[in-house]
Structure 1
Amino acid sequence: MSLDHRLSAEHEELRRTVEEFAQKVVAPKIGEFYERHEFPYEIVRQMGEMGLFGLPFPEEYGGMGGDYLALCLALEELARVDSSVAITLEAGVSLGAMPVFRFGTEEQKREWLPRLCSGEMLGAFGLTEPECGSDAGGTRTTAVRDGKTGEWVINGSKCFITNSGTDITGLVTVTAVTGRKDDGSPLISTIIVPSGTPGFTVAAPYSKVGWNASDTRELSFSDVRVPEANLLGEEGRGYAQFLRILDEGRIAISALATGLAQGCVDESVAYAGTRKAFGKPIGANQAIQFKLADMEMRAHTARIAWRDAASRLLHGERFKKEAALAKLYSSEIAVTNAREATQIHGGYGFMNEYPVARMWRDSKILEIGEGTSEVQRMLVARELGVG
């Protein structure tokens, strides 16, 4: 397979458009939202008008007719400035809308995708539970079919769910145990639960270390009733479905992490050229130059990794190992670059008014969300035949 990752004219135009939006619209405003722990509705609305939430979806469902590479390019450029905005897009597309597109019926696609693609509505994916994180097969939320009413009755809880409690959240796709196999292991299915359904409660936003301008909440379900037709995909195939969604999502998270890592380079290069110590810019010191060179090396390598995984996905090739490698490497170097950027900024790097402080706070979750670094290593080992 060719590893030529040069962008087409269309992809490069998209990248430049999102870069300009990030620099001119997001960068001047997002710090205030972040400090107030406030969701940036106006910025998200503009992202919807640009078509970013519909990038990888066909035009017949309200999308832009693009591909997964286009989405990842947008995520990288947004994350160079701010990760809260980037994760809102990532989760809205790869976790909110993508399950409907991949596994939904034609009726479900036409009901939900146009509003999800326009950004008028956000979707969320309810997977993680208080006692069930990396062990997603240990799901305890249940959905029982009520034959008299033709409804699913859902009980349980979910935690750390992005985009689940905004004013424009329209649905949460929930994984739930709907039966048992002959060996007693659970049959997990995915079911669409519209916002506002009786018994579906959204908790107050978490107090988080980072991603403070994004929405993350705990959800609870108490005898929540939804029509049987809200089953997403084949009953009992929910586990396999979300594994596919997570494989794709890891490429997107890798692009986001690469953007954060590159943003650390951008901010540090600018600072090193203007900050003076002992009568000269600190960038004249070889110690700073070497830090910057290493930071750029990491970001560049991470970009190659996620683009390789995205290319394999687009060509219909196996990409599980490459996605895990990209997510593992880019998330870990994002943390390293954020730490180094903070060090270069010195005391100012510890002040929230500087973007690198926000990047430092935002970086750690990248080693945890959508599969921890330990899970990625496990996946790579399995693909090598030793797991």
Structure 2
Amino acid sequence: MAPGAFSGLGFGLGFDLGETADAIRETVRSFAASEIAPRAEEIDRSNIFPRDLWPAMGALGLHGITVEEEYGGAGLGYLEHCIAMEEISRASASVGLSYGAHSNLCVNQIRRNGSAAQKARYLPRLITGEHVGALAMSEPGAGSDVVSMKTRAEKRGDRYILNGNKMWITNGPVADTLVVYAKIASAKTDPAAGPRGITAFLIEKGMMGFSTAQKLDKLGMRGSDTCELIFQDCEVPAENVLGTEGEGVKVLMSGLDYERAVLAAGPIGIMQACLDVVLPYVHERKQFGQPIGEFQLVQGKLADMYVTTNAARAYVYAVARACDRGETTRQDAAGAILYAAERATQCALDAIQLLGGNGYINDYPTGRLLRDAKLYEIGAGTSEIRRMLIGRELFSKTA
């Protein structure tokens, strides 16, 4: 069922998000329903990134929602960014994931940490959608354990030489601009340096010594291209350091709360997509002479799906508003994506169960929704890491 047929806010709470947020929702929902949703199945089947959508989304101002107008952005906040992420993900979770990696992990990091020259050089084409952005932190042996990364950057004159690999990089195969983290070579021989040796760099497609390995064949989020990045004596001008040398962890950590808040809207879109499929189906499917929606056990699942979807919305919207006020807390940013991600997986399982045999065949989108939802319990920090972070924050703040 096409997004828009059943609105998550059309017959329930409106959340009083304001005229601007509501207008963005309607604009993105209309675009996603007509331009993305009809292609979602094919994007999943072919596992090909829909590059042509990027300029179209750029024309709507979606890539630079949080960026100042002087660089081509909309000058709005994280709440509006979350709404766009939700509605795009409702139409296609894989397009939503690539959008989040582009607009938040890359574009917003440059906005927050870049110099005026870097912003002027990189942001305009990223915001129009001419260029695609990515962020590269994880490595084959370093996922959540950021400090153990092996990619090195050695200073030579007016440039750095990068060597190493990055793994599981969303948008990696198609990215033109990448925010890449590496350890300054001196930190390799100075264990006490720890995270102080990590530095963020702006890498461009085509830089000497930079290449991408084969695209990964993923369970879900197909069409959101992912690959390994390879740096072999990659030459990076010193002017491409994002922030300050040795303070890459500060760049990374300062953006994590915003990253979690925006990405948490992806699972909400998946949950709404599950409702979009299930609600008409329980009217149309008849057993024992009546629509299955009249059975109490079916109604119970519908209730669970509806309540958890809106509970996730309330939490994520509250965290996004806190981000806009500069008041977000680490435990709540992690809590929002933890809750939304796990509830989205369960919501997709419920959708499959409600469709019965039809839920288990690929003529219906429920299998894709489940495969896509599971990513959010793993990517951008596993559920286990999120729980550890929340518990640690609560313990330390009550000491």
Q: TM-score, normalised by structure 2?
A: 0.92
Q: C-alpha root-mean-square deviation of aligned residues, in Å?
A: 1.5
Residue of structure 1 equivalent to 2:41: 31
| CA distance in structure 2 between the partners assigned to 1:371 and 1:320 by the alignment | 13
Residue of structure 2 equivalent to 1:15: 25
- Match for 1:348: what amino acid? N
| CA distance in structure 2 between the partners assigned to 1:141 and 1:8 by the alignment | 45
| Pair 182,212 (structure 1): closer, same or farther in 2 beyond 3 Å | closer
2:218 to 205, 208, 217: 208
Residue of structure 2 equivalent to 1:330: 340
Shift of 1:183: 2.2
Please say if 1:192 is aligned against 2:202: yes
Residue of structure 1 equivalent to 2:254: 244
- Match for 1:176: what amino acid? A
1:65 to 72, 75, 91: 75
Q: Conserved in 2, the CA contact under 8 Å of 1:210 and 1:362?
A: yes
Q: Conserved in 2, the CA contact under 8 Å of 1:56 and 1:64?
A: yes
| Worse-matched range after superposition: 151-160 or 276-285 | 276-285
| CA distance in structure 2 between the partners assigned to 1:383 and 1:184 by the alignment | 24
Shift of 1:78: 1.4
Q: Is there any run of 5+ residues in structure 2 with no aligned partner, and where?
A: 1-13
| CA distance in structure 2 between the partners assigned to 1:59 and 1:203 by the alignment | 36
Q: Is there any run of 5+ residues in structure 1 with no aligned partner, and where?
A: none
Please say if 1:318 is aligned against 2:328: yes
Runs of 4+ in 1 over 6 A off after TM superposition: none
Residue of structure 2 equivalent to 1:86: 96
- Match for 1:199: what amino acid? G
1:183 to 192, 208, 214: 192
The SS at the match of 1:41 is coil
Residue of structure 2 equivalent to 1:273: 283
Shift of 1:5: 4.6
Shift of 1:104: 0.8
| CA distance in structure 2 between the partners assigned to 1:80 and 1:225 by the alignment | 40
| CA distance in structure 2 between the partners assigned to 1:66 and 1:386 by the alignment | 33
Matched pairs, number: 380
- Structure 1 residues 294-334: Cα deviation after superposition (integer angstroms, max 9, x where no partner): 01111110001111111111111132121111011000000
| Worse-matched range after superposition: 177-186 or 188-197 | 177-186
Residue of structure 2 equivalent to 1:160: 168
| CA distance in structure 2 between the partners assigned to 1:55 and 1:305 by the alignment | 21
| CA distance in structure 2 between the partners assigned to 1:336 and 1:54 by the alignment | 32
- Match for 1:257: what amino acid? P
Residue of structure 2 equivalent to 1:307: 317
| CA distance in structure 2 between the partners assigned to 1:165 and 1:49 by the alignment | 23
Q: Conserved in 1, the CA contact under 8 Å of 2:54 and 2:130?
A: no
The SS at the match of 2:192 is coil
| Worse-matched range after superposition: 326-335 or 376-385 | 376-385
2:50 to 37, 40, 58: 40
Q: TM-score, normalised by structure 1?
A: 0.95
- Structure 1 residues 203-255: Cα deviation after superposition (integer angstroms, max 9, x where no partner): 12110000111111111100000111111001111112111222211111211
Percent identical: 38
Please say if 1:370 is aligned against 2:376: no
| CA distance in structure 2 between the partners assigned to 1:140 and 1:105 by the alignment | 27
